[in-house]
Amino acid sequence: MTGQNYSMVSEFILVGFSNFPRHLLPAFFLLYLLMYLFTLLGNLLIMATVWREHSLHTPMYLFLCSLSTSEILFTVAVTPRMLVDMLSTHHTITFVACASQMFFSFTFGFTHSFLLMIMGYDRYVAICHPLRYNVLMSNHGCARLISWTWAGGSVMGMMVTMIVFHLTFCGSNVIHHFLCHVFSLLKLACGKETASVSLGVILVCVSALMGCLFLIVLSYVFIVAAILRIPSAEGRHKTFSTCVSHLTVVIVHYSFASIIYLKPKGPQSMDSNTLMATTYTVFTPFLSPIIFSLRNKELKNAIKKSFQRKLSPLSS
């Protein structure tokens, strides 16, 4: 193996928020802890509501439950470690733990993107081919689509993790991030193949994410064309309202991802880069259940109904 003469790295140091003023860390800890708990509770509430309400046992809400599951697992893979490191002086992470965190964060992150793509396809079939919806989006078909998204996310996570951790890490073991971020790790790798591996990882990730985005955009091109053919304004509004929550989450997801991964190289400080990274890893999962709960009329009414059923025995 190339680089056998180098001293092998057995653990890494996550810089994270350690360069921030100490008096600010409790405030950051409390803010991110509340967002983390709200993300968990919000997604669990969505899943419980869909499970209880038989009127929501449709493909769209089945996909939404799977999306909530991926967001919970992604958040659990990233945020607890970040919160612990904020208040700790011990920021080391073992080689195996680092690889595990990268695998799970990539698996659930890609699964999330694949599910957003499938949800776009669901809206396309519902609006453009309503007569064939029950055939194309049968229970068996939905289960198969969800299985493929989770399998695809797992394959992407395994592939990227194996490629990165096949490299030799030598010299510095300091990761300038609060998690085992792929590009921060690639900067620590040594050997002739590092440049080609970095390019390969970038191409794989960008191709998968841009492929999902392209198919989502293509779905909405056909959806908008179909909506414009509806004669009444009320009909157009009612049809488009079924897509608003999904479209908003897609815009938020890809906007924050673009800020992180496509921002131009500049003189930004490590602290600003750290805060920007939390917009995708913490803030985006935090917003998602809020958007679906407030912008989806059926889900919002179902949540209200559930709370009313819970509160009515207490009031009586």
pLDDT digits (tens, 9 = 90+) for 111-148: 999 999 999 999 999 999 999 999 989 889 999 999 99
**Mean local confidence (pLDDT), 97-113:** 94
Q: Which of 104-113, 117-126, 261-270 has the lowest mean pLDDT?
A: 261-270
Q: What is the pLDDT of residues 186-195, one digit of tens each?
A: 888 887 788 8
Q: What's this model's pTM, rounded to 2 decimal places?
A: 0.89
Residue 3 has pLDDT above 50, yes or no: no
Domain ranges of the chain: 11-261+279-291
Q: What one-letter code names the amino acid at 220?
A: Y
Q: Given this model, what pLDDT does residue 165 score?
A: 87
Q: Looking at the domain that runs over 11-261+279-291, which CATH code has it been given? A: 1.20.1070.10
Cβ neighbourhood burial of 178 (10 Å; 0-12, 13-18, 19+): buried
